[in-house]
Structure 1
Amino acid sequence: MHFRTLIVENDDVSFSKIADLIQENRPNWEITQRLQSVKEIEDWIPEFNQFDLIFCQVELPDGNCFEISGWEEINTPVIFIAKDGLHALKAFDSNGLDFLIFPFEKSRFIRALEKVEHFNLGISFMKESSYKASNRTFVPKDYQKRFLTKIGNKFTFIPVKRIACFYSEDGMTFLVESETSQKYVVDYSLNELESELLNPEKFYRINRSVIINLDNLVEMKPFQNGRLALSLKAKTESGFIVAREKVNEFKSWINQ
């Protein structure tokens, strides 16, 4: 399969690593163009759909690549690259197919190439949770779709898609609704939620007390002592802080 590849990267070392890995693992993929600035992106973006693959460094000498409008109109798969995970949400909002944190491992780069190949073949990537070996068929795990909660004397069901997060406090577990920031008591521990009931592609335990829903994540910023501070659509009395020992895993989870 032949791919015409565009690389947007001003750093020669980074460019060489990307080019060498492409040549080593996909020798029939041709690097047909290199851009090195936001200004060049602005000039070339109307032509981006002529390429089969685009690698794009987020931070360039004259600014941030997302300063340019038009990413949403690009049909070509784009793999964004940055030195940290702070731009991951913006990358996927801009129709990015993947997001790599530099320096990246060779195996991670190859997975990105495979994702591009499957994208171009029209294959949908779905991570299956369990495998039935007896007849060699996949059996997706049935995760919780809604939670029964109680507030006062009233019982109500909260669909999973409306849940911003779960947190524990004083021996009780609460869920927070994304639209209203209303909290409800649930009869499960965080361990039960994490291991049995919640889809791990959507929910992540950022510390001992909080599990967040990725679909409700708005922003993340560096925080003291190597941690990350998150902003969700819902508000709570305490903030959302990713524990230092979970930061790298959390970035990888967002990037999966």
Structure 2
Amino acid sequence: MNVLIIEDEKPAARRLNRMLAALSIDVQQMLHSVEESLNWLQNNEHPDLIFLDIQLSDGLSFEIFEEIEVKSAIIFTTAYDEYALKAFKLNSIDYLLKPLDEDELIVAVDKFKTYQHKHSDVQVNINDIRKLLINPLDRKFKKRFTIKIGQHLKIIHVDEIECFYSENKATFIHTKENRNYLLDNSLEYWQEQLDPEHFFRVNRTFIVHINAIKDIITYSNSRLKLVLHSYNETEIIVSRERVKEFKNWID
């Protein structure tokens, strides 16, 4: 299997390269922009599979498909909210949310191997997904949570929440009142329900509210450490793969 990585964040590209090498998958080339990708694809035989970031240094990667016919299957690597990516599951197109997880990578590669013969429909799905991302769905995000406490029900509005976090396979919310409440579903599930203008998933464990951030501190390995107004149980570190998008989000 020949693979091409198109990813503008070079550390993330190198990490994916190492993960694929561990699976004995040969990476032909790592590219970092729309222009560079167009030049390479116009002058080289297309690989079996492309791992493709959506937001590149000089534009959206969909521009590549507007210029040339890509003859490869695509697995997207993205930090976009999962709710907007349902179409990726069609016709052997898959996606991996950043930071990339090794087990999820294996599942995506296995899916490509199983449905490799279906990738001729890639262009149709790319157009559909492009519309979803450029013109987001008019959806209503969750405004409040109802928490059962004994025989009582407590209503918590999203503006009262500092963060969501997972611990020991359970998911909790932490409020401005410095209280923690257990939720029924996974962090991934609640990420889909939250307004991305106000909430950001900084790593695999935490989703934070923009108004809860008290301080942002530079941290080792090009990461950032967040200090919230009341939550102080564990360190909240913005993963290196998400630092760039986090900075765009807070702007």
TM-score (norm. length: structure 2): 0.45
Structure ranking higher in helix proportion? 2
TM-score (norm. length: structure 1): 0.44
